[in-house]
Each structure stands twice: as structure tokens, then as C-alpha cells.
Amino acid sequence: MEIREPEPDEAERIREVVDSSMTTSFRLSPGQIDGMTDDQFGDDAVADKIDDESTLLHIVEAGEGIEGTAIAGFVEGRLEDEWGEVNWLFVDPEHRGKGIGTELYETASETLRDRGADHVCVTVLEANTEGHQFVEQFGLEHNGDRRIEVAGESLVKYVYADSDVDVTLPTESRAEGEDAEDEEFPEAETTDGHLTVTDDGETAYIARDEEESGTAASFFVTYEDEEHSEQYGFYCANCGSLDVSMAEMDRLECSDCGNEHAERSEESYDDSYL
């Protein structure tokens, strides 16, 4: 397979690869996927990334014996000081199982190091049901979370890095004056050392250590008391609502913002992603 830098006029095909990959492997609505592909991989966005010396873009061209499109995979990385970050990696579902994802990851990591990165991390959207296990195949561990804004959507990315790297991970910049805890727990406040949120005059206590994944942000178990002995319900960290219902298969859904439970499991992993 040939790995090379894309041309600006290939943005449309890149979007098609991104769209088909997200549709297959991400727990996102069609509207969310359309918004993200247009925002991150529109013609102007791709052209700007190609011109940006800090950004790395590589595509894989389909080899002999593969019918259809000439582009089968895409990876994007970025150099931030001592860190190189692989922040997007997509393989067209029709071309999976040929080692394309592995080649893209290894090539991007090597290129970032050649450009001066001392360490390389990978970020994976929480809603990506297959990407987490994919990066774990390379010995990387989940070392932190990051909230990003894409096309008006607040989404969570998991940050993966080597377990023996003892340096601060790169983070997205926040708006000036924005508090990290307020960003992670909207509508919540600290009361006598306890994280709480109020609903119709009732105070619920948020259990930080009882977390469930969601497509936009995590859910947290809430309790009626400080001792966390009587469960109240669930709190949505995307919008701050307590209006969270439990549907079939114990799946959570926020009635206010549509954030949904996105549990990851080994059963959801398709190793053809490699």
C-alpha cells in the first residue's frame, strides 16, 4: 500500500472515508456525523490543515486487487511542543482487515517523532466503539479525558499514551476564565465538600467515582444523601441534567440533550479495524 500526503482536491473523498467509518464504528447520530465531517474535513478545513506545518495528514491509496476508490484510509496528527498527537484515524469499512489502520498509526507516529516529538499520544472519541481497543493493541493506556467542541457538539475524547511516560499530557485550551471542574460538571456546585446538583428543589449528590460512558459526555450516579446510601438517579455531564432515563439493556439516555450510554466492551471490537 502507498501512504502519502493528500492533495486539496481530495477533500471530498476524505470526507466519504470519514463518513463511512463513523457510520460503521461510532455511536453518533447521522446529524452529528454530518456536522463533524463538514466541520473537520470540509474543503477549506482540509486545505488549511495541509498548509499548517504543525499538522500531519496521510492517506492510504488502495492497492492492486481493490476495486473502487483510490483512498482507503486517512490519519491526522499534530505536533504540540514535545508531544505528537494522533487525533483522527479512519479506515473505509470496505478495506478493513488489510493492516491499513496499523500502517497509518505507525507511519504517523514515526513521522511525528521525526519532526521533533519526544512522546506520542492518541485521542479517541468516547463514542468510537472500536477505536479504543485498536489503540490498546499498541500497549497504550487510557491516561485522561478531554472535552472538545466540534460543529457545536460537546464531545469527550480519551487520551492514550505509554504507561511509563511521566510528563503532562497535551490538553485542549479552554475559554479564558473557565474552570475545569465547572466544564466537567455543568450546573453542579460544591456544597460542604460534596459535588451537588439541584433538581426541582431537591439536592442530588454526584458520585465522581461511579461513571458510565456516553456518546457526548459521561453519566454519573447520583444519591439523595452525602453518604451515598440511597440512589437518586443519574447525572448527565454533557448538559448538567438529572432527567436521565434507563431504557432496554440498562442503556441511559438524557432527555434534555440526547446524550446516550455508549458502553465499550470486548464484544463490540471488530479486529478487522486493524
What pLDDT score was predicted for residue 265? 39
Residue holding cell 433538581?
199
CA torsion through residues 254, 149, 212, 240, sign: negative
Pick the CATH number of 2-173 from 3.40.630.30, 3.90.550.10, 3.40.30.20, 3.30.1950.10: 3.40.630.30
pLDDT in tens, the chain (274 residues): 789 999 999 999 999 999 999 999 998 888 889 999 999 999 999 999 999 999 999 999 876 544 545 799 999 999 987 899 999 999 999 999 989 999 999 999 999 999 999 999 999 998 888 899 999 999 999 887 887 778 777 778 888 998 776 656 665 433 333 333 445 788 898 877 788 999 888 899 999 878 887 877 888 999 999 899 999 999 998 889 999 998 766 789 999 988 887 654 344 444 545 5
What pLDDT score was predicted for residue 166? 62
| Interatomic CA distance for residues 17 and 224, integer angstroms | 47
Domain locations along the chain: 2-173, 180-254
CB atoms within 10 A of CB 111: 19
Distances (CA, A) of 180 to 20, 47, 159, 171, 234: 34, 32, 17, 11, 21
Instruction: Label residue 81 left, alpha or beta by phi (over 0 means left) and psi (-120 to 50 means alpha).
Output: left
SS3 93: helix
Q: What is the DSSP letter of 2?
A: E
Name the strand (E) or helix (H) holding 42.
none
